[in-house]
Structure 1
Amino acid sequence: MEGVGLSAVPSEVWESTELIKVDLSRNSIQELPVELSSCINLQTLILSRNKITHWPGAILQSLPNLLCMKLDNNPLRQIPPGGFQAAPMLQILDLSGNVASLPEHPAFSSLPHLQELYLRQMQLREVPSEVLSLQQLRILDLSQNSLQLVPVEFKNLASLTELGLSDNNISMLSPELGLLEPSLQALRLDGNPLRSIRRTVLDRGTKVVLQYLKDKIVED
């Protein structure tokens, strides 16, 4: 039911308890109906580009099989400190564009199975520290924020294959980032005022950049 002008979800949608995926993106939905709680087999919930203001924690607790949730580009207010505990099996979470949604110390460690995390356009000034504990994380997108530093601890995210850092305020990269080679396949750095790496190196792509950084560790 993507982009069909809904302000509320028709009750017939929830009559089937066999629902595995629901796509309600690009509508005008402000809150989720309680009937959603009965969809215990739901694995994917896409709510992108709606008018949702509150974190649906109570409903999420009734969806034990939920693996993917996309809440990007909603006017979402701050997520409660323990909000992520409502969906501990999540593998994919997109909160992009929800500027005020993250609490001061977002408890991403409550999502130990997370493989993809999208935090674009959230005016982040630093990487939330608990992101660095997500050992299964494969894709992390932090583009279009206000980041100035890339934490050295990124080197411990051994499963990372894609790291999006485009359009931030990053001027230097820690050489330890090179330790993510060869698992890291895509490192996106365009739109940053980088001074520590020559443009000729950057233009040659992820593999060359990571090798360059790794070589700097040996030099240091």
Structure 2
Amino acid sequence: MDRMLKAARTSGSLNLSNRSLREVPNEVYRSLDAVGEGEKWWEAVELQKLILAHNNIELLKEDLKNLSLLTVLNVSHNKLAHLPAAIGELPMLKSLDVSFNLIPSIPEEIGSAASLVKFDCSNNQLKELPSSLGRCLDLSEIKASNNCITSIPEDLVNCSKLMKLDLEGNKLAVLSENLISSWTMLTELNASKNLLTGIPETIGSLSRLIRFDLHQNRISSIPSSIKGCSSLVEFYMGSYSHSLLSIHLDI
């Protein structure tokens, strides 16, 4: 462990995945403070990338805020039951992966991690996404599949750079017309295995959409506005795949 921490103070990257850890070593939270004998403190760099995936970690401490230059944090495949509010004190964070844990809610403080580009919270116990995500204006990818989410906060209308959105395996009954029309950069939208009964008329606003998956929902019709999805290559509804050509012919 000491050897890995020493290397991390040189590279700025620390990978502690698959080590059967039950907790994050305290030395990780105070990376630079732990500069050892024989190390040149002036050559040490702050931790920027921290991988803790595939362990048995149950808690992330508020001390996480000490890692203020962190750009990548991966704590997927652990036993986390919550995220600390300190997640919002990581202003440089671009990629956050908390998938495959036991998390029932994401703290609203995440909205202060304004540099966030990729967020993966899939395979948890979420009933909603925090509205504060709408303050993360650089978000391009959200993975929130296999949770219990019933609706998407309207605040995400501000996430105009969103390109990939995965909501598979939730409890969504509707896709907001307002949200759909605001995500004009979207190339992939997966809302399969939900409780949807219709497709928003504003779907035609997504001229860059390439893949649209709605299989295993309760949708019985396709709005003619889908013709506006001029880049669409893959479209799944029910148990069938439709080409854009067949959509034009069927309407």
The answer to whether TM tops 0.5 is yes
Does the 8 Å CA contact 1:179/1:210 hold for their aligned counterparts? no
Aligned residue in 2 for 1:172: 221
Aligned residue in 2 for 1:24: 75
Aligned residue in 1 for 2:166: 118
Task: Give the direction of change, closer, same or farther, for the CA distance of 1:108–1:139 in structure 2 (3 Å limit).
Answer: same
Does the 8 Å CA contact 2:177/2:202 hold for their aligned counterparts? no
Q: What displacement does 1:35 show?
A: 4.4
Structure 2: any 5+ residue segments left out of the alignment? 1-51
Structure 1 position 185 matched with structure 2 position 233: yes
Structure 1: any 5+ residue segments left out of the alignment? 193-201
Aligned residue in 2 for 1:195: none
CA RMSD for the aligned pairs? 2.6
Rg larger in structure: 2
Task: Give the direction of change, closer, same or farther, for the CA distance of 1:131–1:19 in structure 2 (3 Å limit).
Answer: same
Comparing 141-150 with 9-18, which one deviates more in the overlay?
9-18
Q: What displacement does 1:36 show?
A: 3.7
Task: Give the direction of change, closer, same or farther, for the CA distance of 1:55–1:166 in structure 2 (3 Å limit).
Answer: same
Comparing 31-40 with 151-160, which one deviates more in the overlay?
31-40
Q: What displacement does 1:65 show?
A: 1.2
Aligned residue in 2 for 1:72: 122
What is the TM-score normalised by the length of structure 1? 0.77
The one of 188, 201, 210 aligned to 2:244: 210
Equivalent-residue separation in structure 1 for 2:132 and 2:86 (angstroms): 20
Does the 8 Å CA contact 1:17/1:39 hold for their aligned counterparts? yes
Q: What displacement does 1:12 show?
A: 8.3
Comparing 158-167 with 120-129, which one deviates more in the overlay?
120-129
Equivalent-residue separation in structure 1 for 2:193 and 2:216 (angstroms): 5
Structure 1 position 92 matched with structure 2 position 144: no
Does the 8 Å CA contact 2:164/2:189 hold for their aligned counterparts? yes
Q: What displacement does 1:216 show?
A: 4.7
Structure 1 position 41 matched with structure 2 position 89: no
Q: What displacement does 1:157 show?
A: 0.8
Aligned residue in 2 for 1:135: 184
In percent, how many aligned pairs have the same letter? 21
Task: Give the direction of change, closer, same or farther, for the CA distance of 1:33–1:151 in structure 2 (3 Å limit).
Answer: closer
The one of 212, 216, 219 aligned to 1:163: 212
Comparing 13-22 with 91-100, which one deviates more in the overlay?
13-22
Q: Secondary structure at the match of 1:189?
A: strand
Alpha-carbon displacement from aligned partner over 1:48-88 (angstroms, at most 9, x marks no partner): 12122222221431x221101111222224445x4333322
Aligned residue in 2 for 1:197: none
Task: Give the direction of change, closer, same or farther, for the CA distance of 1:211–1:76 in structure 2 (3 Å limit).
Answer: same
Q: Secondary structure at the match of 2:215?
A: coil
Structure 1 residue ranges (4+ consecutive) displaced by more than 4 angstroms after TM superposition: 10-16
Q: Secondary structure at the match of 1:83?
A: helix
